[in-house]
Structure 1
Amino acid sequence: ISCLIIYLALVKYLRFQHRDQLLKNFSHLNSTSKLKDMTYEESREISRVLIELDCPYISHTSLSLALFQTYSVPSISKLLNKTGRLNLPSCVGKRAEDTVCLLAELQTFGLFSQRGSLAISRINFLHSIYSTSISQDDLLFTLSLFIFEPLRLIDQFEWRTSTELEKYSRFVLWSHIGQKMGIKHLPSNPDDLLNWLKVYKSKAVVFDPSNVKLGEATINLFARPYPKFLKPFLRKSIIYFLPDDIREAFGWSNEIPLYISRLIPIIFKIRSFLLLHFTLPRQASFDFGLRDPSLENPSMDDETTFYQRSNWLFEPWYVKKTFWNQFWSVFGFSVPSNEFQQEGYEIHQLGP
């Protein structure tokens, strides 16, 4: 019992260690007027605490939900349906994992690393193929969701909420990415961007059959790894995490039964309680499944240009076979194999 008491006391003493150290290290940015002076490198260092140490689970999965929400805009969903990469079961898994890899490269290594530069170049190339069909507003909408949705979900479901410093750092981080993507008329502060987002959503987020087609394909992708008997529950659970206006644009306004709206908050409150009171702070960064994040600037002459991952979201693309991950095949899950390019990926080959 004495050991347990000591452990719980240690958890209480250390649990906010990363956040408190962050506030101390960046005390020169402790007012609204000073936040605007935050640099890109400072935003990376600040964001890292929330993304890789304190709240990696929701930070990671919320990007997929943010991307999902972009399909609620008909101009976006019609284009993506036309390409056929997101509504075909044979393509949608790889397309989703490739997107995860590109975003992970940016978040793990930064814009100005060699890997980050390759990732943003690849993103820009893929967008250039459809440049006449993608509007600046649609790009800014997507960028805004990548900024605000993880913060919304973290504040609602994680064991701690984000600080003002962390909120602003996410704006600075993604604004720099937006500039590299050639997005014009980026607001100069998060409040203005949030106001723009609300106005844009009121006009652009509307019901359309193309939204539904893409939305159903995405729901099926989220639920694909799980047993059939769980899929109805998973479907309703995924829809629960979407904002009301997004649900309406997919035609899912009445898809949330009372038990889901009660059960999910309880599950996450229990999770938050356990993390807050019974777990020590993470010391190793969550690397978004990138096997060797130390290879930040590999030589272009290096023959090893393939990068492997250690985990996956939907399908095990680019993950090396191990004894442990092969075990999941017993339960019917897809596991790493040659079919999923276990040798790894080359950044300039990601995407369709």
Structure 2
Amino acid sequence: MSVVTTAADRARRALSGRIAERHRLGSEIADLDPAESQQIAQLLGTREFPWGITQALSFALFRTYAVPSIGDLLYRTGQFTEQTQKRYDDTVLLLDAPVEHGFESPLGRAGVRRINQMHAMYDISNDDMLYVLATFVVCPVRWVNSYEWRRLTDHEVRGLTDYYRRLGKHMAIKGIPETYAEFERLMDDYEDQHFAFSEDSRAVADATLDLLGTFMPYRLLPRAVVRRMSFALMDDRLLWAFHYPRPTAVERVLVRGGLRLRGLAIRLFAPPRTEPLFGRQTPQVRCYPNGYEISELGTFAPGCPVLHNGTRRTSTPGVDPTWTEVRAAR
């Protein structure tokens, strides 16, 4: 046996060992009971795919701005355009509390309570709340399956779905779907029917993209490049709703292909994460270097409630075309 052959065999064994180690946590998740949805969601979001699921949840919230009843409301609060970093941080920290500590823990209950208190200050329909919940379920699954180093199993999809079903119940949302497939249909149908252009919603989206440009590694790039990269990750329905330019085929191939190459590199070379990375530990959360109290996060009166009937929009339901009509006309 030649030295070259021996070295190649050693390299193959080492690579096989790294891949097996990389899949070990997935095997542990597979052994969990589906009822342990909070633990499944925590392991996936803080150890198996911490970067990908964080990106996906951020993108999920970004999508909701394209529904004018949601995006316009966020604009009128002034928080998402004037204090974008703080709103990002507060959202991450509040959603992360039950993931880290569980729904029944004091900190988990405090996080959900603060979310409910904020929502109670505004005139928000159950349909909009249900749609936002659906984005939390669907966007992480689609992102991981498209760009991460492996796809989610049916068991993991069920665990994530059941976790967000529990969150929805704690938020008193009515009509929560039972399965992932039902959430997916709900999200897609709602976007077809309700996505529309609004100047206010676009302002919230622009402010969010500007914030993205301050995060590493994006802040090393020109702001225009970061925006074009962001557009390359958006589907036509979302681009249309914000009146963003449609990216070229080359831009989409480069950006999406780059994310897939990242996933492949992790699969082949990166060691598995042994310690969880919670939202409060990420470098994107920057407003609370000295710590925070969950009860002090988010928005507070005065100035509430903000009602839908004060919405300023440039599209009118029943008059302006829906995405379904636009797509059919193409």
Same fold (TM over 0.5): yes
Deviation at 1:23, TM superposition (A): 2.4
Corresponding residue number in structure 1 for 2:305: none
Corresponding residue number in structure 2 for 1:233: 225
Q: Closer, same or farther in 2 for the Cα pair 1:229/1:59, shift >3 Å?
A: closer
> Of the candidates 254, 260, 274, which is equivalent to residue 263 of structure 1?
254
Corresponding residue number in structure 2 for 1:78: 72
Deviation at 1:267, TM superposition (A): 1.5
Deviation at 1:228, TM superposition (A): 7.8
Q: Closer, same or farther in 2 for the Cα pair 1:168/1:263, shift >3 Å?
A: same
Deviation at 1:258, TM superposition (A): 3.4
- TM-score using structure 1 length: 0.77
Q: Closer, same or farther in 2 for the Cα pair 1:14/1:95, shift >3 Å?
A: same
Corresponding residue number in structure 2 for 1:161: 151
For 1:105 and 1:96, locate their aligned partners in 2 and report how far apart those are by CA, in whole Å.
14
Alignment: residue pair count: 290
Root-mean-square deviation over aligned CA pairs: 1.9
Deviation by residue 1:278-327 (Cα, 9 ceiling, x = unmatched)? 123222122223xxxxxxxxxxxxxxxxxxxx3332x6111xxxxxxxxx
> Of the candidates 185, 188, 197, which is equivalent to residue 195 of structure 1?
185
Deviation at 1:277, TM superposition (A): 1.3
Corresponding residue number in structure 1 for 2:167: 177
Give the fraction of aligned pairs with identical amino acids, expressed as a percent: 27
Corresponding residue number in structure 2 for 1:316: 286
Q: Closer, same or farther in 2 for the Cα pair 1:80/1:229, shift >3 Å?
A: same
Q: Closer, same or farther in 2 for the Cα pair 1:270/1:228, shift >3 Å?
A: closer
Quick check: 1:55–1:158 contact (8 Å CA) kept in 2? yes
Corresponding residue number in structure 2 for 1:18: 25
Corresponding residue number in structure 1 for 2:45: 51
Corresponding residue number in structure 1 for 2:310: none
Unaligned runs of 5+ in 1: 27-37, 290-309, 319-341
For 1:46 and 1:13, locate their aligned partners in 2 and report how far apart those are by CA, in whole Å.
20
Letter aligned with residue 222 of structure 1: L
> Of the candidates 59, 62, 67, which is equivalent to residue 68 of structure 1?
62
Corresponding residue number in structure 2 for 1:333: none
> Of the candidates 277, 280, 293, which is equivalent to residue 271 of structure 2?
280
Deviation at 1:57, TM superposition (A): 0.6
Quick check: 1:74–1:205 contact (8 Å CA) kept in 2? yes
For 2:207 and 2:279, locate their aligned partners in 1 and report how far apart those are by CA, in whole Å.
24
Stretch moving more, 224-233 or 16-25 = 224-233
Quick check: 1:239–1:247 contact (8 Å CA) kept in 2? yes
Matched, 1:344 2:291: yes
Stretch moving more, 230-239 or 262-271 = 262-271
Letter aligned with residue 247 of structure 1: L
Quick check: 1:69–1:242 contact (8 Å CA) kept in 2? no
Matched, 1:93 2:91: no
Quick check: 2:47–2:275 contact (8 Å CA) kept in 1? yes
Deviation by residue 1:187-227 (Cα, 9 ceiling, x = unmatched)? 22222222222222111112222221211111111113455
